[in-house]
Amino acid sequence: MHADPMHTDHGQSWSPLIADSIGRRYRRGRPWALRDVSLEIPRGSITALVGPNGAGKSTLIRACLGFERLDEGRLTVNGIDPQRDRSAAVASVGYVPQRGSLYQNLTIADHMTLAATARPAFDAGRSIERLRGLGLGEQRSVGELSGGEQAQVALALALGTGASLLLLDEPLSSLDPLARRDFLATLIDDVRGRGATAVLSSHIVTDVEQACDRLVVLAAGRVVLEGTVAEARARHRTVAAGDAASLDVVGRFGGPAGEQLALVRGAGAGATLEEIVLGYLASARAGQLAEAA
């Protein structure tokens, strides 16, 4: 064991993404967008970064690329501090931004040429092959593609880098259910096949339930739950709110038919990932209201 994973500069012993008490506040007097966030993302995992709009997901992903300055703490991606060496951090990851990363007037082939110019190791052949497999020929103009097809192009560009760490910022938000499934299938196939690591943010939990083995839930800039999906499911169950009085309640939330439910700690799996996230978000919201009162 090494004493300080943040300072290990040999071998591949560090986790691909380590955050140590990081904080970001856009303006003085405004709430913190991220506060006291500590995370260690294990190599080979696919992590869902979940939380409502404004929770800080995008700020965290952008900080990993050095696009956001941190006010507190330290962060490394692939052992690199993006605050100190942004270009090395960017060059070491495959990034799928929230939207607008493609040039609508250019073809798929043009995008591959641009990507190869930016990153000499870019494997255009493999990306083009992957897209052809989805029926997307390289002479197609990006502006003529559907949202789901454009997302596949953005993903193929990120995967073509061969980066061992992929960061995807809400890649599914504008896609229909079928396109989401195709996107996740492509991602899982590549990441698992290469033993790579991926972090993808989403505010829709059901989408990522099948794809991700780990979960980080952010609420108002803080991590409220982190761990494996299997552990989270094994340690929580959902009961009717009326039956929860003597139980270790995480949070209460409304069920699909308007009934009041409670997420409780304790063995006896039964909670879905969505219920677990809702329970922790409800708990975080109750905490914030109590703090503001």
Beta strand extents in 203-259 (DSSP E only): 214-219, 222-228, 236-240, 249-254
Q: What are phi and psi of 290, to 5 degrees?
A: -65, -40
- Tell me how far, at minimum, the Cβ of 56 lies from ligand ADP, in Å: 4
The rounded distance, in Å, linking the Cα atoms of 208 and 14 is 26
Does 56 engage in binding with ligand ADP (CB under 6 A)?
Answer: yes
Q: CB of 239 within 8 A of CB of 261?
A: yes
Among 55-63, 142-150, 188-196, 267-275, which window interacts with ligand ADP (CB under 6 A)?
A: 55-63
Site string for ligand ADP, 5-34 (x = CB under 6 A): ---------------------x------x-
Does 55 engage in binding with ligand ADP (CB under 6 A)?
Answer: yes
For residues 76, 123, 119, 142, the Cα torsion angle rounded to the nearest 10 degrees is -100
Task: Single out the residue of 57, 111, 214, 233 in contact with ligand ADP (rule: CB under 6 A).
Answer: 57
For residues 6, 7, 11, 15, the Cα torsion angle rounded to the nearest 10 degrees is 0
Q: Which is nearer to ligand ADP, 59 or 197 (CB)?
A: 59
Does 208 engage in binding with ligand ADP (CB under 6 A)?
Answer: no
Among 46-54, 100-108, 182-190, 227-235, which window interacts with ligand ADP (CB under 6 A)?
A: 46-54
- Tell me how far, at minimum, the Cβ of 96 lies from ligand ADP, in Å: 14
Residues 6 or more apart in contact with residue 33 via CB below 8 angstroms: 24, 25, 26, 56, 59, 221
Q: Which is nearer to ligand ADP, 59 or 127 (CB)?
A: 59
Question: In terms of DSSP bridges, do strands 222-228 and 93-96 run parallel, antiparallel, or are they unpaired?
Answer: unpaired
Does 54 engage in binding with ligand ADP (CB under 6 A)?
Answer: yes
- What are the residues binding ligand ADP (CB under 6 A)? 26, 33, 51, 53-59
